[in-house]
Amino acid sequence: MRGRRIPAASSSFLTGFATASDSQRSPSSPAAPAASAGRRRRSSSGTAYARCDVTDEAQVAAAVDLAVARHGRLDVVFNNAGIPGDLMPTPVSALDLADFDRVMAVNTRAVVAGVKHAARVMVPRRRGSIICTASTASTAGVIGGVAIPHYSVSKAAVLGLVRAVAGEMAYSGVRVNAISPNYIWTPMAMVSMVALYPGRSVDEHRRIVEDINEMEGATLEAEDVARAAVFLASDEAKYVNGHNLVVDGGYTVGKQNPRSIGQDDVQNSAAHSQLTESLNIACVHCRRETNRVLGRTTTSPAFFSRFSTAASSSQKLAGKVAVITGGASGIGKATAAEFIKNGAKVIIADVQDDLGRSVAAELGRDAAYTRCDVADEAQVAAAVDLAVERHGHLDVLFNNAGVSGTVRRQDDLASMDLAGFDRVMAVNARAVVAGIKHAARVMAPRRSGCVLCTASAAGVLSVPSIPVYAISKATAIAIVRATACG
């Protein structure tokens, strides 16, 4: 959870937190206001305010244009606006996709818009710095369950964006980086604490947030993040590009057992304990299971036989029921064939009706086809329900449907179509959430099941010609990590 506004990236912001010895790191470097067109105010110090709803691309563009109109150029854009979404702990099977859409619109799509319009004015000048606020929650691949899934996913998608475009922008002399702070006492944190712990005082709320940070002798403050932004905006970071600058005092490096606390601290630390309890249980369970498995590897050759060639000929999925989205062609079709070969019954869910029916007929009586546009949650739910109605249960859901979007020429980030971005994210990311949600709805009561999601190497490595696809697949990876602990 990050504060909604770290001080805006304006010319005064870029020098306001510097020490006397280095107070001119970015002299006279205009930066976009942290808001946009609409009401505009200007102070005597040269700092300006403009209203901006970042979910409206036109307003983001207007903020950029205002900086250029007023100062003749734009050197820095800090995409910092964000919201936490609904903070109430919710089972994966009950996730609200409308809330997911709201969080993604502000925390991810708006960052894409900010990068796009920054590129529009920076690329012709062959210089500039774009900074995007991510979060330690975006490192859910290291520590699962750090934050509410919607928020974690949105911030991991920001890192996917930075990695997807930084290489391309480097050819134009523009740098794109992220900052990932840990929990900070900010207005957003205040709202979050009131929602999570309504019976606590303001001081208790502050202490809860501050105690989450583990570095002794220091408290993480908004100014620490601001100084990181100053560094990334300045020429001192002239060769820093595609980087995620983590400002967390070592929180994500590794977890230790909670520090010892005195009796007087017990009551005020209860909330902190609640936040860390699930993590500590998971760590203990992981160690126990690791020791159990390793013990078997040293005492029983049977462990290795599970991976032998002989074992691979058995029907590993006998009695299993699977739904495969995008199952009429490509990876989906090949997987359906392998599942059936291994004893499973498969429902092929796709929008290619003729092809889907043909594939189902080809695969035989253990395959069935149903139309499913995964961008429509109701149709995803219906595919899951069909499997349960027909076979009594669902064992495997393979979220495999995907679209690549438009393949574009490089060095043309400013022309990115956000409507195209929405289409790709709806199929490649949002639909994954829907699939996991409805799989959990029928699997969790049985305490058994497996959900698979097709990601891509593009979600890890930059592919400049398909940045939107890369972002969507990075988001899919983040969704898996954020929900696996739920």
Report the top-level CATH class of 11-247.
alpha beta
Q: How far is CA 132 from CA 83, 98, 158, 309, in A?
A: 14, 24, 7, 48
Alpha-carbon distance of 252 to 452, in angstroms, equals 26
The residue annotated as part of the active site, out of 10, 36, 151, 369, is: 151
The residue annotated as part of the active site, out of 155, 320, 333, 345, is: 155
Number of neighbours of residue 41 by Cβ within 10 angstroms: 10
Beta strands in 58-148 (DSSP E): 76-79, 128-133
Structure tokens at 98: 């409308």
Reduced 3-state DSSP string for 342-397: CCCEEEEEECCHHHHHHHHHHHCCCEEEEECCCCCHHHHHHHHHHHHHHHCCCCEE
Query: What is the full per-residue pLDDT of the chain (486 aa) written as tens digits?
Result: 343 333 333 332 232 223 333 445 555 566 665 443 445 555 556 788 999 999 999 999 999 999 999 999 999 999 999 998 887 778 889 889 999 999 999 999 999 999 999 999 999 999 999 999 999 887 644 444 556 788 889 999 999 999 999 988 999 999 999 999 987 777 777 777 777 778 888 888 777 777 777 677 788 888 999 999 999 999 999 999 999 999 988 777 655 444 433 434 434 444 444 444 444 444 455 445 545 544 544 334 443 344 444 344 568 999 999 999 999 999 999 999 999 999 999 999 999 999 999 999 999 999 999 999 999 999 999 999 999 999 999 999 999 999 988 766 555 778 888 999 999 999 999 999 999 999 999 999 999 999 999 999 888 776 767 888 989 999 999 898 888 866
135 is catalytic: yes
183 is catalytic: no
Residues of the chain with CATH 3.40.50.720: 11-247, 317-484
Structure tokens at 35: 């808001």
Q: What would the DSSP string read from start to end of 87-113? A: -S---GGG--HHHHHHHHIIIIIHHHH
The residue annotated as part of the active site, out of 11, 26, 135, 472, is: 135
CATH code for residues 317-484: 3.40.50.720
437 is catalytic: no
